[in-house]
């Protein structure tokens, strides 16, 4: 494993991991690279649980906090808290366009019948709810835009202007349910797809984004729940990783 996960907290009941990007969480028949589940199998877990105790998932390119139950009781307790919406999850996402105010997306999600690798908001899907709040409205200022697209001619640069490509918002997202690709699908649904999200931002926009952002800009920043042993509320936080910090450094406050 090139980038082993960082352990944020560990006791006899739980393990809190800061997952790096490019690490798949679950084993599968098609997955040839080492997964988080493989890494946990080598870690000092005394009890071999289903999915090695991994309570919830993060997509391969999403970084941030994951909870692992080290005992069957802890695993069952945490799964019940996630199911009953007793946990607190907060993600940071950089999205296209200016998000003027916070809101709530209530859009049922299921696998996209036209592309089985994607998900979509469809009336026949499972209930999915995401709250979001703009943190910073940002822009790729003229000189940065010129640097990133230095090979573009005047016509191509004008097309970027027509696309309003230089405008972005850093958004805090709080998913109240846990559907696959939920935040990514919901943000696309409200016309603010995540920067460099290969599946949902669109092919043309993805190529533009990858010039300055190495992966989808989505990070699981905060995780809170009732400790399955003590019953006390615990909360953990993960700083924005270096690769996303670098991408954010290209941007300045909108309007300056």
CA-based end-to-end distance of the chain: 43
What is the total residue count of the chain? 256
The whole-angstrom distance between residue 101's C-alpha and the CA centroid of its chain comes to: 20
- What dihedral do alpha carbons 247, 194, 88, 60 form, nearest 10°? -80
- Whether 59 is catalytic is yes
Q: Which is catalytic among the residues 13, 26, 50, 59?
A: 59
Alpha helices in 46-153, H assignment, sequence order = 72-83, 142-148
- What dihedral do alpha carbons 210, 207, 184, 158 form, nearest 10°? 100
Side-chain half-sphere CA neighbours of 80 within 13 A? 9
- Residues recognised as catalytic: 59
């Amino acid at each position: 494993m090139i980038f082993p996960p960082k352990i944020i907290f560990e006791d006899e009941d739980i393990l809190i991991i800061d997952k790096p990007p490019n690490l798949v969480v679950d084993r599968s028949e098609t997955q040839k690279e080492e997964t988080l589940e493989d890494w946990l199998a080598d870690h000092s877990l005394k009890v071999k649980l289903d999915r090695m105790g991994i309570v919830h998932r993060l997509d391969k390119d999403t970084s941030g906090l994951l909870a692992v139950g080290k005992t069957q009781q802890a695993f069952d307790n945490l799964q019940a808290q996630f199911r009953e919406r007793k946990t607190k999850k907060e993600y940071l996402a950089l999205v296209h366009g200016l998000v003027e105010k916070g809101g709530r997306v209530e859009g049922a999600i299921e696998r996209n019948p036209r592309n089985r690798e994607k998900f979509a908001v469809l009336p026949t899907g499972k209930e999915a709810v995401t709250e979001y709040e703009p943190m910073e409205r940002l822009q790729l200022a003229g000189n940065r835009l010129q640097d990133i697209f230095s090979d573009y001619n005047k016509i191509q640069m004008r097309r970027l202007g027509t696309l309003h490509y230089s405008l972005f918002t850093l958004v805090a997202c709080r998913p109240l349910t846990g559907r696959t690709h939920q935040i990514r699908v919901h943000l696309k649904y409200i016309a603010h797809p995540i920067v460099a999200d290969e599946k949902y931002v669109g092919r043309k926009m993805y190529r533009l984004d990858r010039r300055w952002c190495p992966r989808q800009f989505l990070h699981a920043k905060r995780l809170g729940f009732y400790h399955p042993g003590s019953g006390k509320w615990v909360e953990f936080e993960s700083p924005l990783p270096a690769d996303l910090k670098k991408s954010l450094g290209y941007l300045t406050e909108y309007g300056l």
